[in-house]
């Protein structure tokens, strides 16, 4: 069994007494490390006085918490209705082709991943996506070509 | 020194507003001109974003959409003196799209610096709260009752009834919880207010706290809104520093404070009981009712859960009186609703109007039809659990009861337009797939039903055992409607059945 990871304590400790502390601690861990490492559930269970199963249950419930090692670049492309209405499927297919991965998949070397997202609140100017922290709307024409080109060059390096 | 406005709103930023600000500053530095750039909220004319405004003699003139590349030419033409240019729009508040609206909740959005206490106060901010502080809690609830306000999160439940229940339930600790999960595709009004006029939500929540006897508030914000998170967190700091939150709200001796909480990517956490579980740090599973959250909500204490737009309507209702608000609208749908025009539209964005406006006015007069130029074929209103309507129903007025009679609903005011290339069977299949992905898993009709729905739709689309599968589809919808614990499973049949009823040809009928 994995032991609690002491290095996570500074990330967990500030949230122990807060409302919804477990989710806040998970956000803090993921924010700092880019994922929820396998040692985290044990540390969280101890800090919040919960069973391991309860902690794992929370982690698996939410789409945001990733238990795989982080990738360098994540493209989240909107799949929801308003973006569907302006060609999200086509944009997704072109991204998948340029990135060499299917939707929901990552490149084996950890360079990037293509993930679905259900609405970024940019629905008046779709198709929409988010590349790491950067929001992108009107992902069509030149804006899409620029994004695709980015993967083409990076991929050829 | 000239003042320019460039929105910090997510849509503007996603279209290059930050790069535009950099370019404007560079141009100013190059020409040795001093400028001040205010990052405002969006006016809601999203096809014009990024929209730059320049203030000349107290009038704001617009240019848009302006990309960083356009700056040299716009600047050279005389941006700072509001001189003509192909991208010039003239005095922005005279724009037809804005002039035809009735902006109560969005009166300030786009006009003010969202993070300026003085701008907020100068544009009518805090007047509702000041009024509330002179009233008894019962009198505040009386104004709300008069206004006829109904919940803007989707269900349209009369707000005053909920306020009364929370007020009547004795407890040493009550809570105000603002639902800013805004998961519906095609909706962004909550986001726009959080980014463009966050203090108005704070004001609404304080008033609600006074009215029901709650001293603590939470805003549950979805994680997909990073800019709203930053702006709202700063607004909370400002409000605290200004004495609007804390032990003595505006020196009244009454305490109220608000915490921001970030969700973790789960559509179901918009459902209020799931949201409360999530806010307690648990899995966002739906709770069986009774008890109602108003009686036993957060940590089993009486909790008033409201959508952002419901709470943001409150300051106006207190400032101008419940009767003022009630006098807008039709039937039992009172006041205004910020409609959100999305999907395949030419002029997408936010349009606040009194209830009673027709769908045609929204999608034709305001949105200008489709962006693709193809004819409109379907309009989905009310998010992923909302109905797909055909063009022959475009003259329906936006009214809770009228829409309910058509098995449709206004929901959170999202209007998503599809052109003639849409296939409604694909949309129905998607409705099931979305439900399967986002179901909390607590009850079988939803958890299993959604997966079965995907399978059945697959067969329908392939024409396998066609009539049996359509019958199965119908049975499945019946089971989900009658057997689901919440509206996720219970209303997934709404988009499915509306698609089948209004567009049978797409189902091979
Ligand atoms: C699946 C599902 C998702 C929902 N999502 C939201 C949401 O994102 N925002 C919201 O305000 N209400 C949402 N609701 C409605 C809430 O349960 C609740 O009715 C609302 O927050 C009450 O506030 P109101 O009275 O101001 O509308 C959702 C309901 C369901 C069943
Ligand atoms: S209907 Fe679906 S989302 Fe709602 S409680 Fe049941 S399983 Fe959960
Ligand atoms: S539906 Fe894609 S951003 Fe809202």
Q: What is the pLDDT of residues A99-145, one digit of tens each?
A: 999 999 999 999 999 999 999 999 999 999 999 999 999 999 899 99
Cα distance between residue B395 and residue B401, in whole Å: 15
Closest CA to B491 of B393, B399, B408, B412: B408
| Max CA pair span of chain B | 75
| Pocket lined around ligand 3, Cβ cut-off 6 Å | A 78, 80, 82-83, 119-123, 126, 128; B 185
C-alpha A125 – ligand 3 centre gap (Å): 8
DSSP state of B155: T
Enter the CATH code of domain B117-326. Answer: 3.40.50.11540
Enter the CATH code of domain B2-94. Answer: 3.40.30.10
C-alpha B286 – ligand 3 centre gap (Å): 25
Two tokens at B405? 């009679």
Checking if the pLDDT of B156 tops 90, the result is: yes
Predicted pLDDT at A152: 81
Phi, psi for residue A38 in degrees, rounded to 5? -60, -20
CA distance B388 to chain A (A): 11
Check CB contact under 8 Å for B343 and A137.
no
A111 lies within 8 A of chain B by CB:
no
**What is the separation of C-alpha A35 from the centre of its chain, rounded to a whole number of angstroms?**
9
pLDDT band at A89 (very low <50, low <70, confident <90, very high): very high
Q: What is the pLDDT of residues B224-244, one digit of tens each?
A: 999 999 999 999 999 999 999
CA angle A82, B429, B425 (to 5 degrees): 85
pLDDT, chain B, mean: 97
Cα distance between residue B434 and residue A63, in whole Å: 13
Checking if the pLDDT of B308 tops 90, the result is: yes
Where exactly are the structural domains of chain B?
2-94, 117-326, 329-419, 424-507
Counting ligands in written order, which one lies closest to the CA of residue B159? Answer: 1
Pairing of strands B414-419, B376-381: antiparallel
B14 within 8 A of A137, measured Cβ to Cβ:
yes
Does the beta carbon of B490 sit less than 6 angstroms from any atom of ligand 1?
Answer: no
Closest CA to B407 of B499, B342, B334: B499
Cα distance between residue B486 and residue B496, in whole Å: 17
Instruction: Give the one of B11, B265, B281 whose C-beta lies nearest to A22's C-beta.
Output: B281
| B117-326 matches B2-94 in CATH topology | no
Q: What's the whole-model pTM score?
A: 0.97
Token pair 């700072």 in the structure block, residue: B80
Interface A-B: count of C-beta contacts within 8 A: 154
**A131: part of which helix (H) or strand (E)?**
strand A129-131
Cα distance between residue B93 and residue B122, in whole Å: 18
Predicted pLDDT at A153: 72
From A2-6, B44-48, B69-73, the region with the lowest mean pLDDT: A2-6
DSSP state of A139: -
Counting ligands in written order, which one lies closest to the CA of residue B438? Answer: 2
Cα distance between residue A126 and residue B345, in whole Å: 10
H-type helices in B347-423, by residue range?
359-360, 400-404
Pairing of strands B303-307, B175-180: parallel
Predicted pLDDT at B418: 98
A123 within 8 A of B416, measured Cβ to Cβ:
yes
Q: Which atom of ligand 1 is nearest to the CA of B286?
A: 31
| Region of B207 on the Ramachandran plot (φ > 0 left; ψ -120 to 50 alpha; else beta) | alpha
Cα distance between residue B250 and residue B260, in whole Å: 21
pLDDT band at A3 (very low <50, low <70, confident <90, very high): low
Two tokens at B158? 């009369």
Checking if the pLDDT of A155 tops 80, the result is: no
In terms of Cβ atoms closer than 10 Å to its own Cβ (0-12, 13-18, 19+), residue A154 is: middle
A53 lies within 8 A of chain B by CB:
no
Which residues in chain B are contacts of A26 at CB distance < 8 A? 264
Check CB contact under 8 Å for B417 and A85.
yes
Closest CA to B50 of B63, B38, B61, B37: B63
B384 within 8 A of B495, measured Cβ to Cβ:
yes
Check CB contact under 8 Å for B226 and A85.
no
pLDDT band at B249 (very low <50, low <70, confident <90, very high): very high
Helices (H) and strands (E) in chain B, counts: 21, 16
CA dihedral B83→B89→B91→B92, nearest 10 degrees, is: -140
B214: three-class secondary structure by DSSP: coil
Predicted pLDDT at A157: 46
Predicted pLDDT at A7: 86
Token pair 């950099």 in the structure block, residue: B22
B312 within 8 A of B123, measured Cβ to Cβ:
no
pLDDT band at B55 (very low <50, low <70, confident <90, very high): very high
* Domain B424-507, classified CATH 1.10.1380.10, yes or no: no
CA distance A97 to chain B (A): 22
CA distance B135 to chain A (A): 31
* Interface TM-score (ipTM) > 0.95: yes
Closest CA to A76 of A26, A36, A145, A136: A136
Token pair 């909550």 in the structure block, residue: B190
Cα distance between residue A67 and residue A108, in whole Å: 16
Predicted pLDDT at B295: 97
- N-to-C CA span, chain B: 67
A127 lies within 8 A of chain B by CB:
no
DSSP state of A19: T
What would the DSSP string read from start to end of A38-65? TTHHHHHHHHHT--HHHHHHHHHH-TT-
Cα distance between residue B388 and residue B21, in whole Å: 40
Pairing of strands B336-343, B376-381: unpaired
Token pair 């040809």 in the structure block, residue: B505
A126 within 8 A of A83, measured Cβ to Cβ:
yes
Cα distance between residue B411 and residue B413, in whole Å: 5
Q: Mutate one of A53, A125, A133 to test the B interface: name it (highest B CB count within 10 A).
A: A125
Paired residues of B338 in beta bridges: B352
Check CB contact under 8 Å for B340 and A123.
yes
Q: How far is CA B122 from CA B38, B126, B166, B244, in A?
A: 16, 10, 33, 16
Enter the CATH code of domain B329-419. Answer: 3.10.20.600
A126 lies within 8 A of chain B by CB:
yes
Closest CA to B56 of B92, B34, B81, B78: B81
What lies within 8 Å, CB to CB, of A11 at 6+ separation is A25, A28, A29, A32
- CA-closest residue to ligand 2 atom 8: B440
Q: What is the pLDDT of residues A34-82, one digit of tens each?
A: 999 999 999 999 999 999 999 999 999 999 999 999 999 999 999 999 9
Closest CA to B50 of B37, B67, B62, B27: B67
H-type helices in B178-271, by residue range?
189-196, 198-212, 226-241
Closest CA to B39 of B109, B92, B114: B114
Two tokens at B257? 């404070």
Does the beta carbon of B479 sit less than 6 angstroms from any atom of ligand 2?
Answer: no
Check CB contact under 8 Å for B438 and A80.
no
pLDDT band at A6 (very low <50, low <70, confident <90, very high): confident
Locate the chain A residue with the closest alpha carbon to B258: A19
Strands ordered across the beta sheet of B175-180: B257-262, B216-221, B175-180, B303-307
pLDDT, chain A, mean: 94
Predicted pLDDT at A88: 98
From A143-157, B55-69, B79-93, B246-260, the region with the lowest mean pLDDT: A143-157
Q: Which atom of ligand 2 is nearest to the CA of B435?
A: 2
Instruction: Give the one of B264, B384, B419 whose C-beta lies nearest to A62's C-beta.
Output: B264
**Side-chain half-sphere CA neighbours of A73 within 13 A:** 15
Does the beta carbon of B149 sit less than 6 angstroms from any atom of ligand 2?
Answer: no
Q: How far is CA B464 from CA A154, B468, B473, B497, in A?
A: 45, 9, 13, 19
Check CB contact under 8 Å for A27 and B264.
yes
pLDDT band at B210 (very low <50, low <70, confident <90, very high): very high
Mutate to test the pocket of ligand 3, among A86, A126, A129 (most ligand atoms within 8 A of CB): A126
Pairing of strands B216-221, B414-419: unpaired
Two tokens at B20? 């535009």
Two tokens at A93? 């297919």
């Amino acid at each position: 069994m994995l032991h609690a990871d002491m290095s996570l304590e500074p990330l967990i400790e500030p949230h122990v007494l807060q409302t919804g502390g477990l989710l806040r601690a998970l956000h803090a861990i993921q924010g700092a490390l880019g994922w929820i490492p396998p040692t985290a559930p044990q540390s969280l269970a101890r800090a919040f006085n919960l069973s391991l199963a309860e902690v794992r249950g929370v982690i698996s419930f939410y789409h945001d918490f990733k238990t795989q090692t982080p990738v360098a670049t994540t493209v989240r492309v909107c799949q929801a209705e308003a973006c569907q209405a302006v060609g999200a499927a086509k944009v997704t297919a072109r991204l998948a082709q340029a990135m060499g991965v299917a939707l929901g998949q990552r490149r084996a070397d950890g360079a990037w991943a293509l993930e679905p997202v259900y609405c970024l609140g940019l629905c008046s100017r779709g198709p929409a996506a988010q590349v790491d922290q950067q929001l992108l709307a009107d992902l069509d024409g030149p804006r899409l070509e620029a994004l695709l080109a980015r993967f083409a060059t990076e991929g050829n390096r | 020194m000239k003042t320019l406005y460039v929105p910090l709103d997510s849509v503007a930023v996603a279209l290059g507003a930050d790069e535009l600000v950099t370019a404007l500053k560079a141009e100013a530095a190059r020409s040795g001109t001093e400028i001040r750039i205010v990052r405002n909220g969006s006016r809601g004319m999203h096809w014009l974003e990024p929209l730059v405004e320049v203030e000349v003699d107290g009038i704001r003139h617009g240019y848009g959409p302006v990309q960083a590349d356009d700056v040299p030419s716009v600047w050279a033409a005389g941006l700072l003196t509001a001189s003509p240019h192909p991208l010039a729009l003239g005095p922005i508040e005279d724009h037809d799209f804005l002039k035809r609206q009735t902006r109560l909740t969005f009166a300030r959005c786009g006009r003010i610096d969202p993070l300026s206490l003085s701008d907020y106060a100068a544009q009518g901010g805090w007047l509702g709260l000041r009024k509330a502080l002179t009233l008894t809690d019962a009198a505040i609830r009386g104004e709300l009752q008069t206004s006829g306000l109904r919940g803007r999160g989707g269900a349209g439940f009369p707000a005053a009834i909920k306020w009364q229940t929370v007020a009547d339930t004795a407890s040493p600790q009550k809570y105000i919880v603002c639902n800013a999960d805004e998961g519906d595709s095609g909706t962004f009004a909550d986001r726009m207010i959080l980014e463009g006029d966050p203090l108005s939500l704070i004001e609404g929540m304080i008033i609600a706290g006074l009215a029901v006897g709650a001293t603590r508030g939470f805003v549950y914000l979805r994680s997909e809104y990073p800019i709203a998170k930053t702006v709202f967190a700063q607004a909370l700091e400002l409000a605290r520093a200004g004495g609007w939150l804390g032990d003595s709200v505006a020196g009244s001796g009454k305490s109220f404070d608000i915490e921001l909480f970030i969700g973790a990517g789960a559509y179901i956490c918009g459902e209020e009981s799931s949201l409360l579980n999530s806010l307690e740090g648990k899995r966002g599973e739906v709770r069986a009712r009774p008890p109602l959250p108003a009686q036993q909500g957060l940590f089993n204490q009486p909790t008033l859960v409201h959508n952002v737009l419901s709470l943001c309507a409150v300051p106006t209702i207190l400032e101008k009186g419940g009767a003022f608000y009630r006098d807008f609208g039709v039937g039992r749908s009172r006041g205004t609703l910020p409609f959100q025009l999305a999907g395949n539209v030419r002029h997408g964005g936010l349009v606040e109007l009194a209830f009673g406006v027709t769908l045609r006015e929204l999608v034709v007069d305001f949105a200008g039809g489709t962006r693709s130029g193809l004819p409109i074929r379907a309009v989905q209103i009310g998010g992923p659990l909302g109905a797909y309507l055909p063009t022959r129903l475009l003259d329906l007025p936006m009214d809770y009861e009228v829409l309910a009679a058509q098995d449709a609903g206004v929901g959170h005011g999202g209007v998503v337009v599809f052109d003639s290339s849409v296939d409604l069977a694909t949309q129905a299949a998607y409705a099931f797939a979305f439900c399967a992905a986002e179901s909390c898993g607590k009850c079988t009709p939803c958890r299993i039903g959604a997966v079965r729905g995907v399978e059945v739709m697959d067969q329908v689309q392939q024409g396998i055992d066609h009539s049996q599968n359509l019958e199965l589809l119908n049975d499945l919808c019946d089971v989900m409607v009658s057997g689901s614990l919440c509206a996720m499973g219970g209303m997934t049949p709404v988009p499915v059945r509306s698609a089948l009823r209004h567009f049978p040809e797409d189902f091979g009928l």
